[in-house]
A and B are shown apart, each in its own frame.
Chain A
Amino acid sequence: MPHRIIQAEWLAPQVRRLVVEAPHVVRHCGPGQFVIVRADAQGERIPLTIARADRERGTIDLIVQAVGASTHAICELAAGEALADVAGPLGRPTEIENFGHAVIVGGGVGTAVIYPQARALKDKGNYVSAIIGGRSKPYVILEKELSAICDAVYPCTDDGSYGFKGFVTERLKLLIEQTDRPVKAVICAGPVPMMRAVADLTRPLNIHTIASLNPIMVDGTGMCGGCRVQVDGKTLFACVDGPEFDAHKVDFRELADRLTAYRDQEQRAMERHQCRLHVHTVAAK
């Protein structure tokens, strides 16, 4: 059953938002859950966070960063085209409480993962701060959307071209030190080194910290075990036990290492993908 894309736009270089018809997915989905998507019948199964669910329209927002051949293929789709498969919602929804002051931290496309938490945290009565980062100004995404929900939004860039100059963790440290509302919970998503740095920052301060993990996954239903991560010395499956875990207990070193398992294959797939695109472009001319 193909899923029509009703809207598609670039949010940042190589980062695309797709609004996709998926009426069966929106029915039970909650913040923190994801879907598995295939662009076409030959496609790889790619897990993507449900960035937003519109129950009335029966659509979900997916925010995709083109990194490999499969994500490039998804990003090349335009409004009116369709995804071959959308399965979900998968994973466990975030357990949201009234923490008091909750900070959501998103790095790069990880901001798409923490975006749905903002609304859920707000609905529970939290004071919500968002710290969102990117390499430079164009890479900071969803600032407007988060500003409409959160009490404060702190954009950060590595090069200082916009907002705070420095990493999101540095901004988080400042916020924790300077705010008169003590930070009670942190939810983070982004590159593994970023999540690890957030965990290292909040661990000694005993601030409850959740990380949304992005390991390699095939089926997303617990069947393959490819997404196994070590949490508190135990092997858990991100797809059925997560994808969110206590950041203070995650073995980030192992997670980062396992994410590199197919680097060579991905490189070759990417070369073939670009080669095919080139052939198409030449043929079109």
Chain B
Amino acid sequence: MKPAERMKIPRQAMPSRDPSERARTFREVNLGLPEEIARREAERCLDCKDPKCVRGCPVQIDIPKFIKLVAAGDFAGAAASLLADNALPGISGRVCPQERQCEQVCIRCNKGQPVAIGYLERFVADWAREHLNGQTAAPAAPSGYRVAVVGSGPAGLTAAGELAKRGHSVTVFEALHEPGGVLVYGIPEFRLPKEIVRKEVDSLRRMGVQILTNVIIGRTYTIDDLLTEEGFHAVFIANGAGLPVFMGIPGENLKGVYSANEFLTRVNLMKAYDPDSLTPILRPKKAVVVGGGNTAMDAVRTCRRLGADPAVLVYRRSRAEMPARAEEIMHAEEEGIVFMMLTNPVAILGDDKGWVRAVRCQKMGLGEPDKSGRPRPVPIAGSEFDIECDVVVEAIGVRANPLLTKTTPDLKLNDKGYIVVDENGMTSKPGVFAGGDIVRGAATVILAMGDGKKTAAAIDRYLREKVPLAGR
């Protein structure tokens, strides 16, 4: 096919569940591309000489290669190529902010819309899951090295897979009762079905990765225990960012005020949306969610599905500054979420029984750019107004969890309590590496996966170069 013909093909749309149905169900919104549509979308790729998309990808997937194989209808070949670069494509294909990474730098953006790389990644991952029956590449010969991975979120799972591929014996320690970290407690079913996470975890297990749940590193075992009595040669800390931040305004301890972490954990991990679940949740009649990121979007869309009408999203900056993925914002709008931009809560008001009854907000204007480069929101005097609600969810960010770092005094931390690492992902403690949100602060799933991949390679080098094995 000639480039001119490729240029004529319009970007294919992702089929999705009807918005009126979505407001009542936790089933996945996006339905995936059918084979014919996927091949047609793949034909849009110009296979340019300098594929910027690869550099735009935090895990450096060879994007043109797998897309070419999709276009040719060689889905098994595409799967082999994609899986060699990214152990968890079914997850990243669904939750990556592609519009700011691979797709943003696609040459086709110069004249129209980028290739739908995210849709195609998801297509190949789903095809592989359905057709390859969980087969994985044969693992390398056992290296004799043992690596402990702390946390089973995107960074931990990626690292575990990469290390197992290189023949290392890997044990993942998870504090909760189910592996997956933010993929199971944070991201809702309607965006990332838990069955997909379970299958990815199962395939790691088939590669020989051992996953121990209910183990809290820093309490059950210390990092030093892992390196001494437990006999691990290296440790990768990927336990996530942790503690929710509250706004610090009056009324935050009223009944009906949640952190997004608590609200989403109850619904996602503990299945509180199911009336038969033993874990309770306050089902909002009218909800206000504070924040502009993906977590805020997940929370407000969850409120809607639990019955909130209206489900209001309050954000102190304007639409343009919202950090959430474009697709989530679009889906939220379709589902009838009310967006109140340039609005900031100043107090949460309660009734005489301690329940939330409203959020008092003030309007904001945009001022000079702040440290983040975004226009600073400035309160407008006298603009206060109340939004009636019975549930408030705060999704304004997290801070470093001190649980592990407090019991590992020789780990160097930055002023915010996050772990400091060198260019190889190694901490101040030899043999102890870290990545994901506990290093970056709250970031994205794909950046955590990138850390997992890069650090696994560094751990492999470290072990082979620096750690002599007994008996050799």
Q: Distance (Å) between the CB of B298 and the closest chain A CB?
A: 15
Contact of A84 with B177 in the complex, beta carbons under 8 Å: yes
Partner of A85, one of B214, B222, B246, B402: B214
Cβ of A243 < 8 Å from any Cβ of B?
no
- Interface status of B280 (Cβ within 8 A of chain A): yes
Q: Which residues of B contact A272 (CB under 8 A)?
A: 276
> Given the known A-B contacts A44-B270, A225-B261, A261-B255, are A88 and B244 also in contact in the complex, defined by CB atoms under 8 Å?
no
- A1 contacts B243, C-beta separation under 8 Å: no
Question: Does the CB pair B262–A225 fall under 8 Å?
Answer: yes
A49-84 Cβ-contact flags toward B at 8 Å (1 or 0): 000000000000000000001100100000000001
Interface flag for A43 (CB, 8 Å)? yes
Chain B residues with CB under 8 A of A226: 258-259, 262
| Set of chain B residues within 8 Å of A85, measured between Cβ atoms | 177, 213-214
Our pick among B214, B255, B276 for the contact of A257 (Cβ within 8 Å) is B255
A139 and B458 CA atoms in complex are apart in Å by 59
B206: Cβ under 8 A from any A Cβ: no
**A25 cross-chain contacts in B, Cβ below 8 A:** 220
The smallest beta-carbon distance between A225 and chain B, in angstroms, is 4
Q: How far is the CB of B404 from chain A (nearest CB, A)?
A: 10
Nearest B residue to A251, CB-CB: B253
B220 to A1, Cβ gap below 8 A? no
- The verdict on B428 contacting chain A, using a C-beta distance below 8 Å, is no
B196 within 8 A of A: no
Contacts of B252 in A (CB 8 A): 235
Secondary structure type dominating chain B contacts: loop
Give the distance in Å from the alpha carbon of A1 to the alpha carbon of B255 in the complex. 35
Whether A224 pairs with B261 at a CB distance below 8 angstroms is yes
A27 neighbours in B (Cβ, 8 Å): 220-221
Instruction: Give the residue of A44, A69, A90, A225 whose beta carbon is less than 8 angstroms from that of B244.
Output: A225
Does B403 sit at the interface, judged by CB under 8 A?
yes
**Closest beta carbon of chain A to B253's beta carbon, Å:** 6
Is B266 close to A, CB under 8 A? yes
Pick the interface stretch among A123-131, A183-191, A214-222: A214-222
Check: A133 CB closer than 8 A to any chain B CB.
no
> Which partner residue on chain A sits nearest B400 by CB separation?
A222
**What bracket does the count of chain B residues touching chain A fall in?**
35 or more
Question: In the complex, which residue of chain B has the Cβ closest to the Cβ of A264?
Answer: B280
Complex: A44 Cα to B242 Cα, angstroms: 21
Whether, in the assembled complex, A136 has its beta carbon less than 8 Å from a beta carbon of chain B, the answer is no
Binary A-proximity of B158-187 (CB < 8 A = 1, otherwise 0): 000000000000000001110000000100
Q: Are B278 and A269 in contact (CB under 8 A)?
A: yes
What residues of B have a CB within 8 angstroms of the CB of A240 in the complex?
243, 401-403
Residues facing B in A193-242 (CB within 8 A) are: 218-219, 221-226, 228, 230, 235, 237, 240
**For the complex, what is the distance from the CA of A196 to the CA of B84, rounded to whole Å?**
60
Closest residue to A44 on the B side, CB-wise? Answer: B278
Asked if residues B279 and A89 are in contact (CB atoms below 8 Å), the reply is: no
What is the CB-to-nearest-CB distance from B176 to chain A, in angstroms, rounded to a whole number? 6
B215 at interface (Cβ–Cβ under 8 A)?
yes
Residues of chain B with a CB closer than 8 A to A265's CB: 280-281
Chain A residues whose CB sits within 8 angstroms of the CB of B281 once the complex forms: 265
Q: Mark B323-343, 1 if CB is under 8 A from A, else 0.
A: 000000000000000000000
Question: Which residues from chain B contact A237 at a C-beta distance below 8 Å?
Answer: 243
- Asked whether A260 is an interface residue with its Cβ less than 8 Å from the other chain, the reply is yes
B176: A residues at CB distance < 8 A: 87, 219, 221
Nearest-neighbour CB distance to chain A for B314, whole angstroms, equals: 19
Nearest-neighbour CB distance to chain B for A92, whole angstroms, equals 9
A87 to B269, CA, bound (A): 16
Q: How far is the CA of A22 from the CA of B176 in the complex (A)?
A: 16
Sample of 16 further A-B pairs with CB below 8 A, known A44-B278, A222-B242: A28-B219, A42-B276, A85-B214, A88-B216, A219-B176, A222-B401, A222-B402, A224-B244, A225-B261, A226-B262, A240-B403, A260-B255, A261-B256, A262-B280, A262-B282, A266-B280
Name A's B-contacting residues (CB within 8 A).
Answer: 1, 24-25, 27-28, 38, 42-45, 69-70, 73, 84-90, 218-219, 221-226, 228, 230, 235, 237, 240, 254, 257-258, 260-262, 265-266, 269, 272
A-B contact pairs, 13 of them (CB 8 A): A27-B221, A42-B276, A87-B220, A89-B220, A218-B270, A219-B265, A221-B242, A224-B259, A225-B259, A225-B261, A230-B253, A240-B243, A260-B255
